[in-house]
Amino acid sequence: MINNELKDIASMIGVSKLTTHIARHSFAEIAKQKTGGYVAAVSAALDHSSIAIATAYFKMLHRQKTTLWLILFLEIDF
């Protein structure tokens, strides 16, 4: 059900694929920006067992064009 909603958002922002996985990574990047890079807070929000997992998220984000589109979309005031 959630992925169906994300398909609608993907269509609105012009990307081919948007999933809960991509949305979770986008949340991580937005949270990192909002907390001034406080990775421990982001890790806790994502319920990771280790800060290293959140750090790995950030490394992967730079390879995901769709994630960057979602970040831009979520930052828009409606």
What was the pLDDT predicted at 40?
Answer: 92
What was the pLDDT predicted at 26?
Answer: 77
The pair of structure tokens assigned to 8 is 């609608």
Per-residue pLDDT of the chain (78 residues; tens, 9 = 90+): 788 888 888 888 777 778 888 778 778 878 888 888 888 998 999 898 988 888 887 777 656 555 666 666 666 554
What was the pLDDT predicted at 78?
Answer: 40
Which residue range(s) make up the domain with 60?
Answer: 2-74
Q: What is the count of structural domains for the chain?
A: 1
- In sequence order, the 6+-apart residues with CB closer than 8 A to the CB of 65 are 15
Angle in degrees, CA 54, 7, 57, rounded to 5:
10
